[in-house]
Amino acid sequence: AQSVTQLGSHVSVSEGALVLLRCNYSSSVPPYLFWYVQYPNQGLQLLLKYTTGATLVKGINGFEAEFKKSETSFHLTKPSAHMSDAAEYFCAVSGLSGNQFYFGTGTSLTVIP
């Protein structure tokens, strides 16, 4: 069974500050891990994904995430927040055995000018 927990349904940061969005997963098989961003009334846009290989994954818009197996975590970070980063962020997991995605409950990011 696979599941995703996103700690903090709302996160506020000042413009220029570090962004940290937390994601923990449970999976009975080696997971594939994803971060998506959703702007209001739009679909999902892939930020980055981890499948195999290097555990530090770099994505679009300056975001990156690190897969830590020992902590079952895949936290999303960005060194300096921009106003345009304000959106809903979803962490998702899928397993080798299937192609179903399991999404976290999402984290709403607010960037304060």
**Interaction site with another protein (CB under 8 A):** 32, 36, 41-46, 51, 90, 94, 96, 98-106
Q: Which of 77-99 are b and which e, b meaning 16 or more Cβ less than 10 Å from the residue's Cβ? A: ebeebeeebbbbbbbbbbbeeee
Q: Cβ 61 to another protein, closest distance in Å?
A: 17
Nearer to another protein (CB atom), residue 41 or residue 113: 41
The continuous run of DSSP H or E covering 38 comes out as strand 31-38
Nearer to another protein (CB atom), residue 17 or residue 38: 38
**Alpha carbons 112 and 16: distance in angstroms, whole number:** 9
Nearer to another protein (CB atom), residue 4 or residue 111: 4
Cβ(112)–Cβ(60) below 8 Å: no
Q: Cβ 56 to another protein, closest distance in Å?
A: 19
Q: Cβ 88 to another protein, closest distance in Å?
A: 9
